[in-house]
Amino acid sequence: MSQSTAIQDRKPSAGGVNPTFLWIEIKRMLRNRRTIMFTVLMPAIFFFIFGLSNKNQQLPNGHSYGQYILISLTVYAAMTAATGAGSQVAVERAQGWSRQLRLTPLLPGAYIAVKAAAALTLSLVAVIAQFVIGAIAGVTMDAQTWLTAGLVAWVGSLVFAALGLFVGYLMPSQNVMQILGPALAILAMLGGLFMPIEIMGDTFGSIAKFTPAYGIGQLARSPITGEFDVLWIVNVLVWLAIFVGGAAMAFRRDTNRV
């Protein structure tokens, strides 16, 4: 066996995932000012527009509308952050970085895992930022509600990290965010993140149940609504499977071109 063949056959530990590679990915995302603006500033602006003036209004169960809209927009911030992080593969493809990585021992699964971890890091920043802004604006919740809602918004953002990867492998870099930005806003609106589903009417209320933002939003708000439906979890898992499957197929197609 030649030396070159031996190097190619050598399997890196953990598929090539290492703290250095992950840290580089995280720093690169945090340095992107446009990403920070859309994941932190835009949801905060929406909160001040939609939630601040009505934050003391009461929901039927006694919780405030401010809590409802803050959690909803935190989910929106997390999904935007994760999608933007995942879609960065489109830029890497255009710059030739993905092709360079394929010449290394890094395994495809490890590359996707690093992308997902970086997306979760960025979405965690978005969740914390929205909760801090909400607390400063006067929204109060007990510790368990803060923790539960934040964890659901954060973990649920994996669905949209997969969406970002899926679209990032399908589209050229110059178009990906121009399409994803408005698309995420529409998904958030249809999923009940900008207004309570109960006031959207029967037609849109029925449509909402089949959108990818619906299940995450309902689960994140469950501590203040006092409601739970196993179908919300099914919604999250189905959309996660769809986007992961789409991302895997798009990745294989992109790899076969090289």
pLDDT in tens, 190-212: 999 988 787 778 888 889 999 99
Taking Cα atoms as reference points, which of 131, 118, 130, 113 lies closest to residue 84? 118
72, HSE (Cβ side, Cα atoms, 13 Å): 27
* Ramachandran bin of 138, using left for φ above 0, alpha for ψ from -120 to 50, beta for the remaining angles: left
Average pLDDT over residues 61-71: 81
Structure-model confidence comparison of residues 247 and 29, the more confident one: 247
Banded model confidence at residue 2, pLDDT cuts 50, 70, 90: very low
Helices (H), 88-107: 89-95, 97-102
Banded model confidence at residue 16, pLDDT cuts 50, 70, 90: low
Cα separations (Å) of 221 from 6, 154, 197, 225, 235? Answer: 53, 13, 12, 6, 15
pTM (two decimals): 0.85
